[in-house]
Amino acid sequence: MRSQERAGLNISIVGLIMLLVLLILSGETVEKGRSFINSESFTFSLIYLVPRDTKIILEVEPSTADLSLMLLDEENMARFLKGQSFTPLAEHRGFSGGVILESTPGRGIYGLYMENPSKNAVSVRTRIIMTGMMMDALALSLTLISSGIIIILISLLKREKSGRG
Amino acid sequence: MKFKGLLRWELERSFRFPILEFTLAILLYRVFLVMFQFSAGVSDYVGSLPTSEEVPRKLWESLIYHTGLAMVGSYIQMAVIFSTLASMLAYDFSSGCLRLQLSYPLSRSQVFAAKILTYLVATTMLILTAYLATMNLLGGGVTPPELLPSLIALIGLTIIEASYIFSIALSMSLITRNTLATFISSLLMLLGLDSAAMTYKEPLSSLIPPSSLRRAVWMLRRGSPIPLEGIITPMIVSGALLAACYLYFSRRLEV
Protein backbone atom coordinates (compact mmCIF):
# COMPACT_ATOMS: atom_id res chain seq x y z
CA MET A 1 0.00 0.00 0.00
CA ARG A 2 1.39 3.42 -0.98
CA SER A 3 1.89 6.09 1.65
CA GLN A 4 -0.70 8.36 0.03
CA GLU A 5 -3.32 5.60 0.01
CA ARG A 6 -2.48 4.75 3.59
CA ALA A 7 -2.84 8.39 4.67
CA GLY A 8 -6.26 8.44 2.98
CA LEU A 9 -7.23 5.20 4.69
CA ASN A 10 -6.21 6.54 8.11
CA ILE A 11 -8.10 9.80 7.58
CA SER A 12 -11.19 7.77 6.65
CA ILE A 13 -10.75 5.60 9.75
CA VAL A 14 -10.69 8.73 11.97
CA GLY A 15 -13.92 9.91 10.32
CA LEU A 16 -15.58 6.48 10.53
CA ILE A 17 -14.76 6.03 14.22
CA MET A 18 -16.09 9.54 14.91
CA LEU A 19 -19.30 8.70 13.01
CA LEU A 20 -19.66 5.42 14.92
CA VAL A 21 -19.29 7.21 18.27
CA LEU A 22 -21.78 9.90 17.18
CA LEU A 23 -24.30 7.17 16.33
CA ILE A 24 -23.73 5.56 19.74
CA LEU A 25 -24.13 8.89 21.52
CA SER A 26 -27.15 10.00 19.48
CA GLY A 27 -29.60 8.54 21.99
CA GLU A 28 -31.23 10.72 24.63
CA THR A 29 -28.81 12.24 27.14
CA VAL A 30 -30.14 13.73 30.36
CA GLU A 31 -28.04 15.92 32.63
CA LYS A 32 -29.61 16.58 36.01
CA GLY A 33 -28.89 19.24 38.55
CA ARG A 34 -30.48 20.94 41.53
CA SER A 35 -29.87 24.39 42.92
CA PHE A 36 -31.24 26.28 45.90
CA ILE A 37 -31.91 29.98 45.62
CA ASN A 38 -32.24 31.99 48.80
CA SER A 39 -34.89 34.68 49.18
CA GLU A 40 -34.20 37.81 47.10
CA SER A 41 -31.12 36.18 45.64
CA PHE A 42 -29.98 34.59 42.38
CA THR A 43 -27.86 31.81 40.89
CA PHE A 44 -25.76 31.84 37.76
CA SER A 45 -24.86 28.54 36.12
CA LEU A 46 -22.33 28.05 33.37
CA ILE A 47 -23.39 25.25 31.04
CA TYR A 48 -21.61 23.79 28.01
CA LEU A 49 -24.02 22.91 25.25
CA VAL A 50 -23.43 21.05 22.00
CA PRO A 51 -25.31 21.34 18.68
CA ARG A 52 -28.02 18.77 19.45
CA ASP A 53 -31.78 19.25 19.94
CA THR A 54 -31.79 20.57 23.49
CA LYS A 55 -34.57 20.99 26.04
CA ILE A 56 -33.82 22.66 29.35
CA ILE A 57 -36.56 21.80 31.84
CA LEU A 58 -36.69 23.72 35.09
CA GLU A 59 -39.04 22.70 37.91
CA VAL A 60 -39.46 25.03 40.85
CA GLU A 61 -40.31 23.86 44.37
CA PRO A 62 -42.55 25.09 45.92
CA SER A 63 -44.48 25.27 42.69
CA THR A 64 -46.21 28.51 43.72
CA ALA A 65 -42.92 30.46 43.90
CA ASP A 66 -42.24 32.98 41.13
CA LEU A 67 -38.84 33.02 39.44
CA SER A 68 -37.21 34.92 36.61
CA LEU A 69 -34.65 33.37 34.31
CA MET A 70 -32.48 34.19 31.34
CA LEU A 71 -30.40 32.01 29.06
CA LEU A 72 -27.41 33.85 27.60
CA ASP A 73 -25.00 32.89 24.86
CA GLU A 74 -21.27 33.57 25.21
CA GLU A 75 -21.29 37.01 23.63
CA ASN A 76 -24.34 38.30 25.53
CA MET A 77 -23.10 36.70 28.74
CA ALA A 78 -19.90 38.75 28.50
CA ARG A 79 -21.97 41.91 27.92
CA PHE A 80 -24.27 41.03 30.85
CA LEU A 81 -21.32 40.42 33.18
CA LYS A 82 -19.72 43.71 32.13
CA GLY A 83 -22.98 45.54 32.82
CA GLN A 84 -23.53 46.41 29.15
CA SER A 85 -26.75 46.03 27.15
CA PHE A 86 -27.47 42.45 26.12
CA THR A 87 -30.11 40.26 24.42
CA PRO A 88 -30.87 36.93 26.10
CA LEU A 89 -31.53 33.81 24.00
CA ALA A 90 -34.56 33.10 26.18
CA GLU A 91 -36.19 35.00 29.00
CA HIS A 92 -39.03 34.16 31.39
CA ARG A 93 -40.22 36.53 34.09
CA GLY A 94 -42.41 35.55 37.04
CA PHE A 95 -42.86 31.93 36.07
CA SER A 96 -43.90 29.30 38.60
CA GLY A 97 -44.03 25.51 38.52
CA GLY A 98 -41.93 24.68 35.51
CA VAL A 99 -40.59 26.03 32.26
CA ILE A 100 -39.09 24.48 29.14
CA LEU A 101 -36.44 26.18 27.04
CA GLU A 102 -36.01 24.60 23.63
CA SER A 103 -33.17 25.34 21.24
CA THR A 104 -30.51 23.86 19.01
CA PRO A 105 -27.51 25.78 20.23
CA GLY A 106 -24.10 26.16 18.71
CA ARG A 107 -21.22 24.49 20.57
CA GLY A 108 -20.07 26.61 23.47
CA ILE A 109 -20.64 27.93 26.93
CA TYR A 110 -23.96 29.42 28.01
CA GLY A 111 -25.09 31.23 31.13
CA LEU A 112 -28.34 30.43 32.96
CA TYR A 113 -29.34 33.24 35.30
CA MET A 114 -32.16 32.57 37.78
CA GLU A 115 -33.51 35.14 40.21
CA ASN A 116 -35.81 34.59 43.18
CA PRO A 117 -37.49 37.89 44.11
CA SER A 118 -39.76 36.27 46.75
CA LYS A 119 -39.27 36.18 50.54
CA ASN A 120 -38.84 32.36 50.61
CA ALA A 121 -36.00 30.15 49.45
CA VAL A 122 -36.77 27.92 46.48
CA SER A 123 -35.31 24.79 44.99
CA VAL A 124 -34.91 24.41 41.22
CA ARG A 125 -34.53 21.00 39.60
CA THR A 126 -32.81 21.31 36.22
CA ARG A 127 -32.89 18.68 33.50
CA ILE A 128 -31.08 19.21 30.24
CA ILE A 129 -32.33 16.70 27.68
CA MET A 130 -30.33 16.35 24.48
CA THR A 131 -31.31 14.26 21.48
CA GLY A 132 -30.00 13.75 17.95
CA MET A 133 -26.47 13.93 16.61
CA MET A 134 -23.91 16.65 17.23
CA MET A 135 -24.19 18.42 13.90
CA ASP A 136 -20.71 19.97 13.90
CA ALA A 137 -18.98 16.67 14.67
CA LEU A 138 -21.17 14.90 12.10
CA ALA A 139 -20.08 17.39 9.44
CA LEU A 140 -16.43 16.93 10.46
CA SER A 141 -16.66 13.13 10.37
CA LEU A 142 -18.28 13.14 6.92
CA THR A 143 -15.63 15.58 5.68
CA LEU A 144 -12.87 13.30 6.96
CA ILE A 145 -14.42 10.19 5.41
CA SER A 146 -14.88 11.85 2.02
CA SER A 147 -11.40 13.45 2.11
CA GLY A 148 -9.85 10.06 2.85
CA ILE A 149 -11.76 8.41 -0.01
CA ILE A 150 -10.76 11.21 -2.42
CA ILE A 151 -7.06 10.84 -1.47
CA ILE A 152 -7.25 7.06 -2.03
CA LEU A 153 -8.99 7.49 -5.40
CA ILE A 154 -6.50 10.12 -6.62
CA SER A 155 -3.62 7.87 -5.60
CA LEU A 156 -5.18 4.86 -7.39
CA LEU A 157 -5.84 6.91 -10.54
CA LYS A 158 -2.25 8.19 -10.53
CA ARG A 159 -0.97 4.65 -10.17
CA GLU A 160 -3.14 3.44 -13.04
CA LYS A 161 -1.98 6.32 -15.24
CA SER A 162 1.69 5.71 -14.50
CA GLY A 163 1.13 1.97 -15.11
CA ARG A 164 -0.28 2.71 -18.59
CA GLY A 165 2.43 5.22 -19.35
CA MET B 1 23.09 1.58 9.13
CA LYS B 2 22.97 4.53 11.51
CA PHE B 3 20.75 4.91 14.58
CA LYS B 4 18.44 7.32 12.71
CA GLY B 5 17.97 4.77 9.94
CA LEU B 6 17.26 2.02 12.44
CA LEU B 7 14.71 4.22 14.17
CA ARG B 8 12.96 4.97 10.90
CA TRP B 9 12.94 1.33 9.90
CA GLU B 10 11.59 0.38 13.32
CA LEU B 11 8.82 2.99 13.06
CA GLU B 12 7.81 1.86 9.57
CA ARG B 13 7.87 -1.79 10.59
CA SER B 14 6.02 -1.32 13.88
CA PHE B 15 3.26 0.82 12.45
CA ARG B 16 2.88 -1.16 9.21
CA PHE B 17 -0.56 -1.95 7.86
CA PRO B 18 -2.81 -2.78 9.77
CA ILE B 19 -1.09 -2.14 13.14
CA LEU B 20 -1.42 1.68 12.96
CA GLU B 21 -5.04 1.37 11.79
CA PHE B 22 -5.82 -1.05 14.63
CA THR B 23 -4.16 1.29 17.16
CA LEU B 24 -6.01 4.31 15.78
CA ALA B 25 -9.37 2.55 15.85
CA ILE B 26 -9.01 1.38 19.48
CA LEU B 27 -7.65 4.70 20.65
CA LEU B 28 -10.01 7.02 18.82
CA TYR B 29 -13.08 5.03 19.80
CA ARG B 30 -12.25 5.69 23.45
CA VAL B 31 -11.14 9.32 22.84
CA PHE B 32 -14.29 10.34 20.95
CA LEU B 33 -16.64 8.37 23.21
CA VAL B 34 -15.37 10.07 26.38
CA MET B 35 -14.61 13.51 25.01
CA PHE B 36 -17.93 13.98 23.20
CA GLN B 37 -19.72 13.31 26.48
CA PHE B 38 -18.37 16.59 27.83
CA SER B 39 -21.48 18.72 28.21
CA ALA B 40 -23.80 20.55 30.56
CA GLY B 41 -22.80 21.73 34.05
CA VAL B 42 -19.49 23.57 34.24
CA SER B 43 -19.82 25.77 37.29
CA ASP B 44 -22.48 27.29 39.58
CA TYR B 45 -22.43 30.65 41.31
CA VAL B 46 -24.87 31.34 44.15
CA GLY B 47 -25.55 34.97 44.98
CA SER B 48 -22.54 36.15 43.00
CA LEU B 49 -21.53 36.53 39.37
CA PRO B 50 -18.29 35.50 37.69
CA THR B 51 -16.21 38.10 35.91
CA SER B 52 -16.33 37.97 32.11
CA GLU B 53 -12.66 36.84 32.10
CA GLU B 54 -13.48 34.00 34.50
CA VAL B 55 -16.02 32.33 32.18
CA PRO B 56 -13.65 30.99 29.48
CA ARG B 57 -11.13 30.01 32.18
CA LYS B 58 -13.80 27.96 34.02
CA LEU B 59 -14.74 26.22 30.77
CA TRP B 60 -11.14 25.35 29.95
CA GLU B 61 -10.45 24.19 33.53
CA SER B 62 -13.42 21.86 33.30
CA LEU B 63 -12.38 20.65 29.85
CA ILE B 64 -8.75 20.06 30.88
CA TYR B 65 -9.69 17.95 33.92
CA HIS B 66 -12.27 16.03 31.89
CA THR B 67 -9.48 15.29 29.38
CA GLY B 68 -7.04 14.41 32.19
CA LEU B 69 -9.45 11.90 33.71
CA ALA B 70 -10.12 10.46 30.26
CA MET B 71 -6.39 10.12 29.53
CA VAL B 72 -5.54 8.21 32.72
CA GLY B 73 -8.85 6.35 32.39
CA SER B 74 -7.78 4.88 29.03
CA TYR B 75 -5.99 2.08 30.88
CA ILE B 76 -7.63 -0.84 29.08
CA GLN B 77 -7.10 0.72 25.64
CA MET B 78 -3.44 1.44 26.47
CA ALA B 79 -3.07 -2.12 27.79
CA VAL B 80 -4.37 -3.54 24.50
CA ILE B 81 -2.19 -1.23 22.37
CA PHE B 82 1.03 -1.80 24.34
CA SER B 83 0.42 -5.56 24.63
CA THR B 84 0.09 -5.67 20.82
CA LEU B 85 3.31 -3.71 20.36
CA ALA B 86 5.16 -5.86 22.93
CA SER B 87 3.97 -8.99 21.15
CA MET B 88 5.52 -7.55 17.97
CA LEU B 89 8.85 -7.40 19.80
CA ALA B 90 8.36 -11.03 20.75
CA TYR B 91 7.69 -11.75 17.06
CA ASP B 92 11.14 -10.29 16.30
CA PHE B 93 12.70 -13.19 18.22
CA SER B 94 10.87 -15.90 16.30
CA SER B 95 11.12 -14.23 12.88
CA GLY B 96 14.89 -13.67 13.13
CA CYS B 97 14.46 -9.91 12.69
CA LEU B 98 16.23 -9.19 15.99
CA ARG B 99 19.19 -11.33 14.92
CA LEU B 100 19.42 -9.21 11.76
CA GLN B 101 19.19 -5.94 13.74
CA LEU B 102 21.90 -7.05 16.14
CA SER B 103 24.18 -7.89 13.22
CA TYR B 104 24.27 -4.21 12.19
CA PRO B 105 27.20 -2.08 13.36
CA LEU B 106 25.14 -0.63 16.19
CA SER B 107 25.37 -1.31 19.90
CA ARG B 108 22.66 -3.27 21.67
CA SER B 109 21.87 -0.13 23.67
CA GLN B 110 21.04 1.68 20.42
CA VAL B 111 18.81 -1.16 19.22
CA PHE B 112 17.02 -1.15 22.59
CA ALA B 113 16.69 2.66 22.52
CA ALA B 114 15.18 2.51 19.02
CA LYS B 115 12.57 0.02 20.23
CA ILE B 116 11.71 2.10 23.32
CA LEU B 117 11.44 5.28 21.24
CA THR B 118 9.20 3.54 18.73
CA TYR B 119 6.94 1.58 21.01
CA LEU B 120 6.71 3.82 24.07
CA VAL B 121 7.43 7.38 22.92
CA ALA B 122 5.72 7.30 19.51
CA THR B 123 2.62 5.53 20.87
CA THR B 124 2.32 7.82 23.90
CA MET B 125 2.61 10.82 21.57
CA LEU B 126 -0.17 9.37 19.43
CA ILE B 127 -2.39 8.95 22.53
CA LEU B 128 -1.67 12.47 23.80
CA THR B 129 -2.17 14.02 20.36
CA ALA B 130 -5.57 12.33 19.98
CA TYR B 131 -6.78 13.63 23.35
CA LEU B 132 -5.32 17.12 23.14
CA ALA B 133 -6.52 17.67 19.56
CA THR B 134 -10.06 16.64 20.54
CA MET B 135 -9.93 18.85 23.65
CA ASN B 136 -8.92 21.88 21.60
CA LEU B 137 -11.59 21.04 19.04
CA LEU B 138 -14.25 21.05 21.78
CA GLY B 139 -12.88 24.20 23.41
CA GLY B 140 -12.84 25.98 20.06
CA GLY B 141 -9.27 27.22 20.28
CA VAL B 142 -5.98 26.54 21.99
CA THR B 143 -5.45 25.97 25.70
CA PRO B 144 -5.08 29.30 27.56
CA PRO B 145 -1.45 29.78 28.72
CA GLU B 146 -2.39 30.21 32.40
CA LEU B 147 -3.79 26.66 32.45
CA LEU B 148 -0.74 25.07 30.80
CA PRO B 149 0.84 23.97 34.15
CA SER B 150 -2.30 21.91 35.00
CA LEU B 151 -2.33 20.45 31.50
CA ILE B 152 1.38 19.56 31.68
CA ALA B 153 0.79 17.86 35.08
CA LEU B 154 -2.01 15.76 33.56
CA ILE B 155 0.14 14.88 30.52
CA GLY B 156 2.86 13.81 32.98
CA LEU B 157 0.41 11.49 34.75
CA THR B 158 -0.57 9.94 31.40
CA ILE B 159 3.09 9.41 30.50
CA ILE B 160 3.64 7.68 33.87
CA GLU B 161 0.68 5.38 33.18
CA ALA B 162 1.87 4.62 29.64
CA SER B 163 5.41 3.82 30.91
CA TYR B 164 3.98 1.55 33.63
CA ILE B 165 1.85 -0.38 31.15
CA PHE B 166 4.59 -0.60 28.53
CA SER B 167 7.27 -1.75 31.00
CA ILE B 168 5.07 -4.65 32.13
CA ALA B 169 4.23 -5.62 28.54
CA LEU B 170 7.91 -5.37 27.51
CA SER B 171 8.99 -7.56 30.43
CA MET B 172 6.46 -10.17 29.37
CA SER B 173 7.77 -10.14 25.79
CA LEU B 174 11.34 -10.76 27.00
CA ILE B 175 10.19 -13.55 29.33
CA THR B 176 7.91 -15.44 26.93
CA ARG B 177 9.52 -14.51 23.55
CA ASN B 178 6.31 -15.65 21.91
CA THR B 179 3.83 -13.39 20.12
CA LEU B 180 0.56 -14.83 21.40
CA ALA B 181 1.90 -15.63 24.88
CA THR B 182 3.18 -12.05 25.24
CA PHE B 183 -0.13 -10.53 24.19
CA ILE B 184 -2.22 -12.74 26.47
CA SER B 185 0.12 -12.70 29.49
CA SER B 186 0.71 -8.94 29.49
CA LEU B 187 -2.98 -8.20 29.01
CA LEU B 188 -3.93 -10.60 31.81
CA MET B 189 -1.22 -9.19 34.08
CA LEU B 190 -2.33 -5.57 33.49
CA LEU B 191 -6.03 -6.29 33.84
CA GLY B 192 -5.33 -8.48 36.87
CA LEU B 193 -3.42 -5.70 38.63
CA ASP B 194 -6.28 -3.26 37.96
CA SER B 195 -8.81 -5.81 39.17
CA ALA B 196 -6.77 -6.48 42.33
CA ALA B 197 -6.68 -2.76 43.10
CA MET B 198 -10.46 -2.55 42.61
CA THR B 199 -11.14 -5.63 44.76
CA TYR B 200 -8.76 -5.07 47.69
CA LYS B 201 -9.06 -1.24 47.66
CA GLU B 202 -6.52 0.18 50.12
CA PRO B 203 -3.53 0.17 49.95
CA LEU B 204 -3.43 -1.25 46.38
CA SER B 205 -5.82 1.32 44.86
CA SER B 206 -3.68 4.20 46.12
CA LEU B 207 -0.51 2.63 44.65
CA ILE B 208 -1.52 0.98 41.37
CA PRO B 209 -2.63 2.77 38.18
CA PRO B 210 -5.15 3.71 36.96
CA SER B 211 -6.92 4.21 40.31
CA SER B 212 -3.91 5.91 41.94
CA LEU B 213 -3.49 8.31 39.00
CA ARG B 214 -7.21 9.01 38.80
CA ARG B 215 -7.04 10.02 42.44
CA ALA B 216 -4.11 12.31 41.63
CA VAL B 217 -6.21 14.02 38.92
CA TRP B 218 -9.04 14.59 41.40
CA MET B 219 -6.60 16.07 43.91
CA LEU B 220 -5.19 18.38 41.24
CA ARG B 221 -8.73 19.46 40.35
CA ARG B 222 -9.48 20.32 43.97
CA GLY B 223 -6.14 22.06 44.41
CA SER B 224 -5.22 19.61 47.20
CA PRO B 225 -1.73 18.09 47.53
CA ILE B 226 -1.27 15.06 45.25
CA PRO B 227 -0.72 11.72 47.03
CA LEU B 228 2.90 11.10 46.05
CA GLU B 229 2.83 7.34 46.65
CA GLY B 230 0.33 6.97 43.82
CA ILE B 231 2.79 8.56 41.38
CA ILE B 232 6.10 7.31 42.76
CA THR B 233 5.07 3.63 42.88
CA PRO B 234 4.28 3.29 39.14
CA MET B 235 7.41 5.33 38.34
CA ILE B 236 9.57 2.96 40.44
CA VAL B 237 7.90 -0.12 38.92
CA SER B 238 8.34 1.11 35.34
CA GLY B 239 11.90 2.40 35.98
CA ALA B 240 12.97 -0.88 37.58
CA LEU B 241 11.36 -3.02 34.86
CA LEU B 242 12.79 -0.93 32.00
CA ALA B 243 16.26 -1.00 33.63
CA ALA B 244 16.01 -4.79 34.08
CA CYS B 245 14.87 -5.21 30.45
CA TYR B 246 17.74 -2.99 29.26
CA LEU B 247 20.34 -4.91 31.26
CA TYR B 248 18.96 -8.24 30.04
CA PHE B 249 18.74 -7.05 26.42
CA SER B 250 22.21 -5.48 26.33
CA ARG B 251 24.17 -8.07 28.36
CA ARG B 252 22.40 -11.40 28.67
CA LEU B 253 20.14 -11.82 25.67
CA GLU B 254 21.08 -14.63 23.29
CA VAL B 255 19.35 -14.82 19.93
Q: Does B1 score more than 80 pLDDT? A: no
Q: For residue A14, which residues of chain B lie inside 8 Å, CB to CB?
A: 24, 28
Q: How confident is the model at residue B191 (pLDDT cuts 50, 70, 90)?
A: very high
Q: How near does any CA of chain A get to the CA of B246, in Å?
A: 33
Choosing among A17, A28, A31, A36, which should be mutated to test the B contact, i.e. which has the most B CBs within 10 A? Answer: A17
Q: Tell me the average pLDDT across B237-255.
A: 92
Per-residue pLDDT of A14-31, as tens digits, reads: 999 999 999 999 999 898
- In Å, how far is A161's CA from the nearest CA of chain B? 25
Q: Residue B145 — very low, low, confident or very high, per pLDDT cuts 50/70/90?
A: very high
Chain B residues with beta carbon closer than 8 angstroms to that of A128 = 39-40
The reported pLDDT for the residue numbered B167 is 97
Considering only B25-39, B45-59, B117-131, which range has the smallest mean pLDDT?
Answer: B45-59
Q: Which of A43, A47, A81 sits opposite B52 (nearest CB)?
A: A81
> Distance between CA A90 and CA A70 in Å, rounded?
6
Q: Of A14, A24, A44, which has the smallest distance from its Cβ to B33's Cβ? A: A24
Whole-number pLDDT of residue B159: 97
Question: Has residue B206 got a pLDDT over 90?
Answer: no
Confidence at residue A7, expressed as pLDDT on a 0 to 100 scale:
94
ipTM at complex level? 0.88
DSSP lists the bridge partners of residue A53 as A131
Which burial class, exposed, middle or buried, applies to B215 when counting CB atoms under 10 A from its CB (0-12, 13-18, 19+)?
middle
From the list B24, B42, B140, which residue is nearest A13 (CB)? B24
Kindly tell me the sign of the dihedral angle through the C-alpha atoms of A153, A156, A162, A163: negative
The larger pLDDT score, comparing residue B182 to residue A162, is at B182
> Cβ contact (<8 Å) for A17 and B50?
no
- How close is the nearest chain A Cα to the Cα of B54, in Å? 10
Using alpha carbons, select from B73, B147, B31, B135 the residue that is nearest to residue A48. Answer: B135
Q: What is the pLDDT of residue B109?
A: 94
**Per-residue pLDDT, A103:** 76
Contacts of A108 (CB under 8 A, 6+ apart): A48, A49, A73, A74, B140
Minimum distance, in Å, between the CA of residue B21 and any CA atom of chain A: 6
Residues near A57 by Cβ (< 8 Å), separated by ≥ 6?
A98, A99, A100, A126, A127, A128, A129
Per-residue confidence (pLDDT) for residue B47, from 0 to 100: 81
pLDDT at A97: 80
Q: Write the CA distances from B136 to B63, B140, B214, integer angstroms.
A: 9, 6, 22
Regarding beta strands A108-116 and A90-95, do their DSSP bridges make them parallel or antiparallel, or are they unpaired? unpaired
Q: Provide φ and ψ at A61, rounded to 5°.
A: -125, 125
In Å, how far are A41, B111, B163, B174, B197 from B167, measured between CA atoms?
56, 17, 6, 11, 18
Please check the confidence at residue B41 and state whether its pLDDT lies above 70. no
Q: Do B47 and A20 touch (CB under 8 A)?
A: no
The CA distance from B68 to B154, in Å, is: 5
- pLDDT grade for B40, boundaries at 50, 70 and 90: low
pLDDT class of A165 with cuts at 50, 70, 90: low
User: Is the pLDDT score of A107 beyond 70?
Assistant: yes
The average pLDDT across B128-153 equals 92
Q: Is the pLDDT of residue B248 over 90?
A: yes
pLDDT of residue B107: 93
**Residue pair A44/B50 in contact by the 8 Å Cβ criterion:** yes
Put simply, the chain A residues between 52 and 111 with a CB less than 8 A from any chain B CB are: 74, 77-78, 81-82, 107-109, 111
Q: Do A33 and B47 touch (CB under 8 A)?
A: no
pLDDT value of residue B2 = 85
In chain A, what residues touch B47 (CB-CB under 8 Å)?
38, 41-43
CB contacts < 8 A, A to B, total 108
**Contact residues, chain A, for B38 at CB < 8 Å:** 48
Q: What is the mean pLDDT of residues A89-115?
A: 85
Average pLDDT over all residues of chain A? 90
A162 CA to chain B: closest CA distance, Å? Answer: 24
Which of B36, B58, B62 lies closest to A134 in CB terms?
B36
What's the rounded Cα separation, in Å, for the pair A22 and A139?
Answer: 11
A45 contacts B41? CB cut-off 8 A: yes
Mutate to test the interface with B, among A29, A30, A46 (most CBs of B within 10 A): A46
Comparing A16 with B57, the larger pLDDT belongs to: A16
| Residue B128 to residues B55, B96, B155, Cα–Cα distance (Å) | 26, 33, 7
pLDDT score, position B111:
93
Asked whether the predicted pLDDT for residue B49 surpasses 80, the reply is: yes
- The pLDDT value given to residue B201: 78
Q: Which candidate in B53, B55, B57, B137 is best for mutational testing of the A interface (most A CBs within 10 A)?
A: B55
